[in-house]
Amino acid sequence: ELIDRIKQLEAHNTQLKSIVQKNLHAREDTANGKAKKKHRPFDFSKCFKRHILLRFYYLGWDYQGFAAQEDSIETIEHHLFAALRKVCLINSRETSNYNRCGRTDKGVSAFHQVISIDVRSKLAPEVQLEESSLAGELDYCSMLNRVLPEEIRCLAWMPMVNAAYSARFDCRSRTYRYFFPRGDLNIDAMEESASYLVGAHDFRNLCKMDVGNGVVSFMRSIDEISIKPSQVDSNNDSSYDMMYLELRGKAFLWHQVRCIMAVLLLVGQGKEKPSVVKDLLDVEKNPCKPQYSMASDVPLNLYDCQFNEKSSESNEEEMGGESDLSEWIYKEDDLRRTISDLQGLWMKQSVKTTMIREMLKTLHGILEERFAGAVPICDQSVSLTQGVRSKEYCPLLQRQRCASLENRIEHYAKKRRIEVSVKSNDSNASGSDEPPAQHVRDGINNVGYVDHGVPGMDN
């Protein structure tokens, strides 16, 4: 009876998914303001193909993350594939040899997102890599930008020699930037605390553990980390200066950057000592993560990605040959249009920012004039930390703890939701932020996994 009931529920679940998909597509058609017209299918069998890298930027604040989801069309990947199909560059995602460098979470942006994909080409394979022929190739960026939302833009493309080259597995480093106002933060203390993060560590206390998706190893390496100034306040009030935290590494865990930033903000506010990071990295001394709120998703940006010269799929003979990489191809007209589009978005946000800044300037003046000796208010960075703020601060290491990694593994193993093996401990070491699917049972929803913090990246 139980088996029959499970089968009924699975069938009902499938039916509901189908209804949701139909409703989503109907909403999309309505939003486009156009009735669907029947077009003769594009005949891809008559076209040449080529393997390329495509570089995009997107502002993810109003999107549900990068990765496509069953119950939402408001993802970057949904709009990307809709555009690729609309301009007939691919037949389907399944047949496009597609990989992504990062998988950012809801609200997270990217300036240097890269995908590898097979697309339609005007050129025969034997001349596709000739420099003299590249000028006559399809203008991929222009084609896509005409149909993409204004927050998503294709910047450049790169012709690839090796069809096995993967934007995911052949990425050697990813750089994130987290933007924040100086406020009354002690930047020196934050820099000292951040310095303890450099190198290989177990970051289980500085991420969201995703054991249910098969992630059981939390060793990662941060190659560089620094805090740098971005913009100086025009009214010479340093509390309104903008800064950013920059981290570079091969791979990041789910929410890792946002958890790191949350702790650094506590240090900058004087609520924690810089050494608290060392304590959190000591998993022998602190095997259970203390409960704390993450930093906001809005300021996080996947800002740069660097790639291996040769594909990891190359054999020994190929590894000694020329690089698989070439130069990114930009077109001046496309780049100028993109800059103009981004300036338009900047204008909308900057006007709002300037208006609020002038209002604050006036209010600061009233406070100083009416209440002589009043302590200046520098709470610009306070709202970056999510969650309810307690009136009395409780130090991190004195807080209630989450379940240990071992307890989580035992919990999911009992439910048969994960299969723990030695192999699974290293399965995510390739630099991807995505969960190792081979160790996750069918039916488990992986949609929420981000990278990166960094790629899976809800960092």
Phi-psi group of 255: left, alpha or beta (phi > 0 → left; psi -120 to 50 → alpha; rest → beta): left
- Give, in order, the Cα–Cα distances in Å from 361 to each of 106, 183, 376, 379: 33, 14, 12, 14
118 is annotated as an active-site residue: no
Tokens 């994960």 locate to 418
The three-state secondary structure class of 54 is strand
Q: Which of 71, 105, 184, 333 is labelled catalytic?
A: 105
- 289 DSSP 8-state letter: P
Contacting residues for 9 by C-beta, under 8 A, at least 6 apart: none
Tokens 């379940």 locate to 403
Tokens 């602190």 locate to 286
**Helices 187-195 & 256-268, crossing angle to 10 degrees?**
140
Question: Are residues 104 and 60 in contact, defined by beta-carbon separation less than 8 angstroms?
Answer: yes
Closest among 342, 459, 455 to 77, alpha carbons compared: 455
Closest among 278, 247, 258, 272 to 207, alpha carbons compared: 258
Question: How are beta strands 300-307 and 109-121 bridged, if at all?
Answer: parallel
d(CA 264, CA 185): 10
Phi-psi group of 371: left, alpha or beta (phi > 0 → left; psi -120 to 50 → alpha; rest → beta): beta
- 329 DSSP 8-state letter: B
Question: How big, in percent rounded to 5, are the helix, strand and coil portions of the chain?
Answer: 35, 20, 45
Contacting residues for 318 by C-beta, under 8 A, at least 6 apart: 162, 310
Catalytic residue ranges: 105
